[in-house]
């Protein structure tokens, strides 16, 4: 008799709904803001009047606040794109397109992969750095990093134009051998001839393949039945010259951040040296076994001597010469 009747299902459901409604504002406050909300909050800071537009001057001040993370050239491009209508106004959608894509992804990607003007581009476990030369894997892994889109693009084009056809004829083993020996020779050549510079890019291996291929064409010019051999040589030489010229200019150009020197171009020359020695022997006659060729053993001995010399040079020369190396990344 003293027991109260339990509420019906409908009453319980209404009470639960009221409780959920009371909790919803608190739950919303705890939810992280969506990316769109983040950009809207940032936009509204520069648009207090809620007009839907901000001035290009305010956009420039936003970019300048990130000037330490953004390439100066990219900042100029962003400003030009922002004022593409030449009216000094930027709407919200253009703001999101520019900032979200270029600023966010550009800073996140470029400072570690593609942007040598960023002070932290050397803070990577793949790049060869003279202060970290004891980490032996860097003499090989530097090929996975490049000093800009144009650097990466030219190397990819050269590998596709030359490397793939060579691999189809000579096989992956022989071409891989020339490529890897060129890569290692490139980084070792930098450690000997350009001792204060870091190294990035696959140019050592690419130049080993191309120089071996071109030397092979010249040596067998009369016997090669190829209608476009002159055109292929011209295209390869033009691409090589452009890429090498860019590397020399970049190395000699003053760094935006003096403690972080630009990458060396000597790896290109190390690759060429391998290409016109080991590479020529490898590509000269793909039907004859390498161990049956006297020149093969001569060049293998020369390469081994160079590697041993470079190893001892890295161990002793840096201390004896008392070089002023760039600070460790």
Residue whose pair of structure tokens reads 């840096």 in the numeric block: 318
Active site (annotated) includes residue 118: no
E strands, the chain, where?
A: 53-55, 89-91
Active site (annotated) includes residue 84: no
Q: Distance between CA 204 and CA 88 in Å, rounded? A: 47
Query: Which tokens is 209 given?
Result: 């393949």
User: For the chain, what is the total number of helices (H) and then of strands (E)?
Assistant: 16, 2
- Determine contact, residues 169/286, Cβ cutoff 8 Å: yes
Q: Of 166, 167, 176, 104, nearest to 143 (Cα)? A: 176
Q: CB 258: neighbour CB atoms within 10 A?
A: 8
Query: Which tokens is 58 given?
Result: 């305010």
Alpha carbons within 13 A on the beta-carbon side of 21: 6
From the candidates 191, 203, 211, 264, which is the catalytic residue?
A: 203
Catalytic residue numbers? 203, 268
């Amino acid at each position: 008799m003293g027991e109260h009747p339990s509420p019906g299902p409908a009453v319980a459901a209404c009470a639960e709904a009221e409780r959920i409604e009371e909790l919803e504002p608190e739950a919303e406050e705890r939810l992280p803001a969506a990316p769109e909300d983040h950009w809207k909050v940032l936009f509204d800071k520069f648009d207090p009047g809620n007009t839907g537009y901000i001035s290009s001057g305010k956009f420039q001040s936003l970019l300048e606040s990130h000037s330490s993370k953004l390439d100066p050239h990219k900042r100029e491009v962003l400003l030009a794109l922002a004022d593409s209508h030449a009216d000094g106004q930027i709407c919200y959608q253009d703001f999101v397109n520019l900032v979200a894509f270029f600023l966010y992804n550009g800073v996140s990607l470029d400072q570690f992969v593609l942007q040598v003007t960023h002070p932290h581009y050397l803070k990577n476990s793949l790049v060869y750095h003279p202060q970290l030369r004891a980490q032996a894997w860097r003499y090989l892994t530097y090929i996975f990093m490049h000093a800009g889109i144009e650097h990466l693009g030219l190397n990819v084009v050269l590998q596709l134009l030359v490397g793939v056809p060579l691999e189809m004829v000579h096989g992956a083993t022989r071409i891989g051998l020339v490529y890897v020996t060129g890569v290692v020779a490139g980084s070792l050549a930098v450690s000997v001839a350009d001792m204060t510079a870091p190294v990035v890019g696959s140019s050592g291996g690419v130049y080993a393949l191309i120089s071996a291929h071109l030397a092979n064409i010249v040596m067998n010019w009369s016997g090669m039945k190829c209608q476009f051999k002159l055109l292929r040589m011209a295209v390869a030489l033009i691409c090589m010259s452009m890429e090498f010229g860019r590397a020399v200019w970049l190395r000699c150009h003053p760094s935006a951040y003096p403690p972080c020197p630009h990458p060396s171009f000597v790896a290109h020359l190390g690759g060429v040296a391998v290409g016109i020695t080991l590479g020529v022997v490898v590509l000269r006659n793909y039907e004859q076994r390498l161990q049956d060729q006297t020149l093969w053993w001569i060049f293998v001995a020369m390469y081994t001597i160079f590697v041993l010399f470079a190893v001892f040079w890295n161990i002793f020369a840096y201390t004896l010469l008392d070089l002023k190396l760039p600070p460790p990344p």
